[in-house]
Chain A
Amino acid sequence: MRVTENVRFLYSARVLAEGAESMLRLSTQIASGQKVTKPSDAPSVYASIVQRSDFISRLGARRDTLDRSASDLRLAEGSLASAADLLVRAREIAVQFADPANGQPERDAAAKEVAALRQQLVAIANTKGQRGYLFSGTQTSTAPIDATGAFVGDDLPLNVEYADGQYTRANVDGKYAFSAAGGTDPFALLAQLETDLTGGNLAAIRTSLAPLEAVHQQVTLVRTDAGVAINRLESSSGLTSTALSHSEKLQADEKQGDIAELATKLSLAQAAYERSITVTRQVLNVASIVDKF
C-alpha cells in the first residue's frame, strides 16, 4: 500500500469531520433540551410524540371544559339555592298576611317586599357564568327572563364530553325552574301575590301557599340535578387530570433528553475528537524526507 500525503490528509479530514458532526448533534440536543427535534431523529418516537401531543391537547381541552362547566353549575346551584330562599320568604309573607289581623298598610308593605323578591328572582334567573346565561338553555347569549318577566330561553341541554365519546348534560333546566314548564311560573305567582296583597284579597293569598310550595320544589329539583351534574363533572375532571399528568410525564420522558446522559455522551465525543486531533497532528507532522532538505 502506497501511503501518499493525500491519503493521510483524506483520512484525517474524514475522521475529524465525523467527530465534529457527532459533537454538533449532541450539542444541539443539549441546547434544545430535546433529544427528538425532527422526524428523522427517531421517526417512530416523533410519531408517538405527535399522537401524544394530540391526546394531551384533547385531555387538556376536556378538563378545561369540565372545570368551567362545573364552575358554572356551582354558580347555578348557588343561584337556585338563593331562589329557593326567596320563595321560602315569599311563602312566609303569604302565611303571615293571609291572617286578617294584619292591616292594609302592613299588606301594602308586604306587597312591596314581594315585588322586591320578584325583582331579585329575575336577577337570579338572569345570572351569567363563564359560558353566558346559566338558565337560558342553549341560548346562552340571551337573558332567559325578559322585561315582562316571561321566560324566553329554552330547555335544551348543552352537553360536554366527560370521557371518549361519552357526553353528559352540563347546564341546568332553567325553563323548568323559572317558567310554567315546571308546573308554576314563579314570576306570575309572585306578581299575583303582590296584587292580592295590595288588594287585600286574603282568600287569594291563602290560595297562593300551595303554588308557592310547588314552585319551591321545582326550583329545588333543578338544584338537585345541578348538584348531581357537578359531582359527575368534578369526578370526570379529576380522572382527566390524572390521565393528563401521566401523559405529560410520558411525553416529557420521550421528548426531552436526559441532560446528564447527553452531557456524558458529549464529553466522550469531545474526548474522541481531541484524540483525533492529536493523532491527526502526529500524522501530519510525521517526519518526512522533505524536512531533510
Chain B
Amino acid sequence: MSNLLGVLSTAQSGLLANSAAIAVAGENITGANTPGFSRRTAQLENRSLSASTAGGVTVAGVTRAFDQFSTRALISEQSLWGAADARASAMNRAEGVLQPGDGFGLDDRFGEFFQSWQELANKPDDLALRRDVIVKSQALVQTFNSMSHDVEAIRSSLYSEAQTVVDEVNVRLEKINVLNNKVVSTSKETSGRAEIMDERDRLIREVSERISINVVEHGNGSVALLSSGVALLDAGVVRSLAVSLQPYDASTPADPRTALKFEATLPNGTPRDITTRVTGGRLAGLREARDSDLIDLAADLDALAYDFATEANTRHAAGVDLDGNVPPDLFVGGLGPIPAPPGTAAGLLFNVAIDADRRLLGAASALNPPPGGNEIALSLAAIQQASLAAQGTPAERVAQIAAKTGNKVVSAESELRLRESTRSHAEQMREESSGVSLDEEMINLTKFQRAFQASTRVLQVADQLLQELVEKL
C-alpha cells in the first residue's frame, strides 16, 4: 500500500515540477522581446526520500541567465555611446549655425560688405551708395549677432538637456533603490526575483547611458552604483545628482561665460563637485559639446568679429566724412567701443550715428578737400585681402572656423559610429548569454510536456492498481 501511495506522490511531484517548468518556458517565450529580459531556467532536482514521500522531482528554484562580463561591457559601452550621441547631436546643430543656406552665411555677408565699399569707391559722394554700405554693414553685424546668439542658444539648450538627464538619473536611482530592497526581501531563485533583477539591470543600463557608473553587487543581491568617485547609491542611500552653472573662467570675473557644474551629495550632506570626473554618459557628451566645442566656436567668432571691426574702424578713422570731418567709428558696442572678447560677436553694433546721417561715412582720404576721393573706401574694401591680426583674411578665418567645426562634427560622428558598433557588439554578447532562443524554449516546452504526460500516465497506472486491489479485498 505504502509503495503504491508513494507512486501516486511521485507522479504528483512530476506533474507539479513539469508544469512549473512549462510555466518558466512560457515566461521565456513571452518575454523574448522584452527589453532587458534574461532567460530563466527551472532548476529540477530529485526530491529527497522521506516517510511521506517516495522520491520524485521538485523545482529547487528558477535561475536567471546572467553573464557578468557581458553585462559590465554593455554598461560601459552604453556610457560611451551616450557621450558620443549627445556630442554628435550638439555638434550637428552647431554646424547648422555656420551653414544657414546658400547666400546667407557669414562669408556671403562679408562679400556684400566689401562689395558695397567697392561700389562707394566708384562714386564716393553718392548718398544711395552710402545707404547701401550702411545696410550691408548692418547685415554683417546682424549675422555675427545671430550666429553668436544661435551658439549661445544651443549651449543654453544643452544645459536644459543636462538638467533633464540629471533628473532622469535621480528618478532611476530611486527606482533602483526600491528594487534593491525588493531583491533583498524576495526569495532567491524565483521568477519574481528574476523579474525584479531584470528591471533593475534595465534601469542601471539607462543610468549608465546618462552617466558613467561602476556596479558593485553585494552578497544579499543589492547593488551599489559608483560614479565619479562618489557612491550614488549604496546601502539604501541615494545621493542625488545636481547640475548648475558656474563661471567658465573664475579668474576673470568679467567673463560672462558659464560652464556646467555637476555635484553629488556626500553622506555628510555636503555637495561634492564631480564635474571633471564625469567622463562618460550623456552628461559627459553634453559638457564636452557645451563647454569645449561650442566655447571654441564662440571664441573663434568673437575673435573674428573683434579683429575685423577693429581693423575697419582703424581704416575708417584715417579718412574724412563728406563734410571733411573725422568720421565716427563704424562699429561699436552697446556701451561705446567694440567689446573685447568674449562677447564681441554678440555685442557688436553698427554705429547708429552713421545710420542716422550717411554723410558721416568716411570714404575719402583726409589729405584732400571734401568729398576728397575714394582712398578710404578702397582701403575698407581691401580688408577683404588683409590678414586680420596676422591670422588670415576674413574669408580665410571663416573657412578656418567652418573647417574646424566640420572636423569636430566628423570626429563626433565617427566616434558615434564606433560606439554604436561596440555597443551593438556588447548587446549581442549579452543576448548570446542571456537572451531567449525560441527553438530552445520550444524543445524545453516539448520536453516538459512529455514528462508531464508521462507523470499523468504513472498516476493513471497507480490509480488502476489501487482500484484493482480494493476490488479484490
Contact = CB atoms under 8 A, between A and B. Distances in A.
Contacts of B114: 57-58, 61
Contact of B436 (A4, A61, A158, A288): A4
Contact of B124 (A2, A39, A158): A158
Nearest to A32: B102
Contacts of A47: 399-400, 402-403, 406
What class of interface size applies to chain A in its complex with B? Answer: 35 or more
A6 interface: yes
B471 to A, nearest CB: 41
Contact of B424 (A5, A14, A139): A14
Interface string B7-34: 0000000000000000000000000110
Contacts of A57: 111, 114-115
Given A54-B393, A288-B439, A65 B385 contact: no
B391 interface: no
A31 B404 CA distance: 27
Interface string A152-164: 0010111111001
Contacts of B407: 40, 43
A6 B432 CA distance: 9
A37 B381 CA distance: 28
Interface string A1-39: 111111100110010000000000000000000000111
A165 B373 contact: no
A132 interface: yes
A119 to B, nearest CB: 26
Contact of B428 (A7, A68, A131): A7
B126 A157 contact: no
A158 B406 contact: no
Contacts of B375: 159
A138 B371 contact: yes
Nearest to A42: B406
B405 interface: yes
Nearest to B364: A138
Task: From B95, B394, B406, B439, name the one whose CB has the most chain A CB atoms within 10 angstroms.
Answer: B406
Contacts of B121: 65, 158-160
Given A69-B122, A165-B382, A51 B437 contact: no
Contacts of A69: 122
Contact of A161 (B382, B396, B435): B382
A55 B396 CA distance: 10
B297 to A, nearest CB: 11
B374 A39 contact: no
A5 B438 contact: yes
B149 to A, nearest CB: 20
Contacts of A148: none
Interface string B119-154: 101111111000000000000000000000000000
Given A5-B438, A290-B438, A139 B125 contact: yes
Nearest to A11: B428
Contacts of A46: 399, 402-403, 406
B287 to A, nearest CB: 21
A161 B406 contact: no
Interface in B371-411: 371-375, 378, 381-382, 384-385, 393-396, 398-400, 402-407, 409-410
Contacts of A131: 122-123
B427 A10 contact: yes
A158 B371 CA distance: 11
A40 B413 contact: yes
A167 to B, nearest CB: 7
A139 B373 CA distance: 8
Nearest to A48: B399
Contact of B107 (A10, A54, A165): A54
Contacts of A37: 99
Contact of A159 (B111, B115, B374, B433): B374
A141 interface: yes
A44 interface: yes
Interface string A100-144: 000000000000000000000000000000011000001111100
A2 B122 contact: no
5 contacts: A6-B33, A40-B405, A51-B399, A54-B384, A140-B125
Interface of B: 32-33, 92, 95, 98-99, 107, 110-111, 114-115, 118-119, 121-127, 364, 368-369, 371-375, 378, 381-382, 384-385, 393-396, 398-400, 402-407, 409-410, 413, 424, 427-428, 431-433, 435-439, 442-443
Interface of A: 1-7, 10-11, 14, 37-44, 46-48, 50-51, 53-55, 57-58, 61-62, 65, 68-69, 131-132, 138-142, 154, 156-161, 164-165, 167, 170, 288-290, 293
Given A54-B384, A159-B378, A165-B385, 20 more contacts: A3-B432, A4-B32, A5-B32, A5-B436, A6-B33, A43-B404, A44-B403, A50-B395, A51-B399, A54-B394, A57-B114, A58-B384, A68-B122, A138-B373, A160-B121, A165-B382, A170-B122, A288-B439, A288-B442, A293-B442
